[in-house]
C-alpha cells in the first residue's frame, strides 16, 4: 500500500528555468493538496485539487505558479521562471474525501534555485 509519492525528491534549477513537481496520491485518493515550506517555517497551503478540477487555489501566487490534476496521471505543480525565493520544500498530500484533516503527506520535493 504505497503512500503519497512525490518526485523528484530534490530538484535544482537555475533562475528563469521551469520546475515541475509531481505527486501521485495514495491509491483510492482523488483529492490532492499542495503545501510549501520555507526554511524555519511551517507549511503554507497553496492549492487543493480534485481530478480535473482546481477547487481552492487561494494560497497560490498569482503569477508563475500553476497546478493540475489530470484524469490520468499524477498531479503537477509547475513553477515558471523560477527565482531564488522559490527555493523551498514542496509537499503534496492526498485524501479519500475532501477533508484536509484526513490527508497523508508525501516526502516532499526540495527545490533549490541557483
Where on the chain is the footprint of another protein (CB under 8 A)?
A: 4, 33, 35, 40-45, 48, 55-56, 58-59, 91, 93, 98-101, 103-108, 110
Nearer to another protein, 82 or 93 (CB): 93
CB of 45 to another protein, least distance (A): 4
Nearer to another protein, 14 or 62 (CB): 62
Pull the grid cell for residue 68: 493540475
CB of 51 to another protein, least distance (A): 15
**E-strand stretches of the chain:** 5-7, 10-13, 19-24, 31-37, 43-50, 53-56, 65-68, 75-79, 88-95, 104-105, 109-113
CB of 43 to another protein, least distance (A): 4
Pull the grid cell for residue 13: 534549477
Amino acid at each position: 500500500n504505497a503512500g503519497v509519492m512525490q518526485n523528484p525528491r530534490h530538484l535544482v534549477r537555475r533562475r528563469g528555468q521551469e520546475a515541475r513537481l509531481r505527486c501521485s496520491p495514495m491509491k483510492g485518493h482523488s483529492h490532492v493538496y499542495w503545501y510549501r515550506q520555507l526554511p524555519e517555517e511551517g507549511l503554507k497551503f497553496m492549492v487543493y485539487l480534485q481530478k480535473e478540477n482546481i477547487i481552492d487555489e487561494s494560497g497560490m501566487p498569482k503569477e508563475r505558479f500553476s497546478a493540475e490534476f489530470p484524469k490520468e496521471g499524477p498531479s503537477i505543480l509547475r513553477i515558471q521562471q523560477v527565482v531564488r525565493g522559490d527555493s523551498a520544500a514542496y509537499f503534496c498530500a492526498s485524501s479519500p474525501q475532501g477533508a484536509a484533516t484526513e490527508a497523508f503527506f508525501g516526502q516532499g520535493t526540495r527545490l533549490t534555485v541557483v
